[in-house]
Amino acid sequence: MKSIQLLALSALILLFSACKDDELEAQTFGTFEVEFDNRVGSEAISLEEAGSQNYSYTTASGQAFNLSLFGYYISKIKLEGPNGELYEDEMKVSPHADEVKGFYQVLQSEPASRFIQLENVPAGTYHRITFTVGIADEGIQDGAAGGILDPAEGAWFWNWNAGYIGIAMEGSAQNSGQEEVVGDGWTIPAKSFALHVGGWKDVPAATGEEQRFVNNVKTISLAFDSGVRVGEALEPNAHIVVDVLKLLGNVDFSTTYSVHVPKAGQPFAENIPAAFILDHTHQ
């Protein structure tokens, strides 16, 4: 009798193991594209040369301006589904450019950078995307960081306390208070502005001084308009609009035209969640 029971138990174990192996073999993967569509309100962005006084846009308060540079860092992308589906983009910092993973710099001047391809996404249905705007502590290293995080390669890095510039907006404004400044081989044009929003940690101010370093990194979570299926033969896409007008808010260029420390960029950082909008998804 015991022998029969042992045989039955062994058969069940083998059947369970076979089922698990079949499930692992049956697991398939696909790709998922995240598209960032930068706009000024409902208008597409057309960049001007630095110093140009051809003003194409108007803020909510009626101030005319243009853009010569617009961009931001995206990292820590995650997809979630209604039945426990989960994909987290691999994150890695390395001094070797080809080993850096999970960090993306979206630049209006480089159209291809607006499309992020996520690979090896487990097949399933997803209904939410979460990502970080800026570079959080995972990307701030004592040692060298290569590739997209390397200041020698143009990464927007300030210093250890300030970290990276998460969003950069530069251009000219009709009522900007900026006067022309000429240096050794460089010029800051009159009427220009440079709004650099960064900072990755709060650093209390010394006695008698104003606080300069704050955490302006923001996490965005957007629900899809419907469930999006990922699979081998599918090419889903999430189309996310980034609205410069919402980032600028009620800016007054006559007094706010040069932002280069985290604390000064905090009002713009608070606008980030409202500026990243899921427009629609493609299946």
Question: Is-contact 244 40, C-beta < 8 A?
Answer: yes
State residue 19's pLDDT score: 46
Mean pLDDT of successive 10-residue segments in the chain (283 residues)? 48 46 65 98 96 96 97 98 96 92 97 97 97 91 82 92 96 97 92 97 86 95 95 94 98 97 97 97 91
Identify the pLDDT of residue 138.
Answer: 81
133, 72 contact by CB (below 8 A): yes
pLDDT of residue 13: 45
Q: Is residue 17 exposed (0-12), middle (13-18) or buried (19+ Cβ within 10 Å)?
A: exposed
Q: Is the dihedral of CA 35, 40, 41, 43 positive or negative?
A: negative
pLDDT given at position 171: 98
Gap between the Cα atoms of 45 and 246, Å rounded? 14
Domain boundaries, the chain: 27-282
pLDDT at 240: 98
Cα(104)–Cα(111) distance, rounded to whole angstroms?
13
Residue 143's pLDDT is what? Answer: 64
pLDDT of residue 206: 85
**What is the DSSP-derived secondary structure letter of residue 92?**
B
Tell me whether strands 187-188 and 181-182 are parallel, antiparallel or unpaired: antiparallel
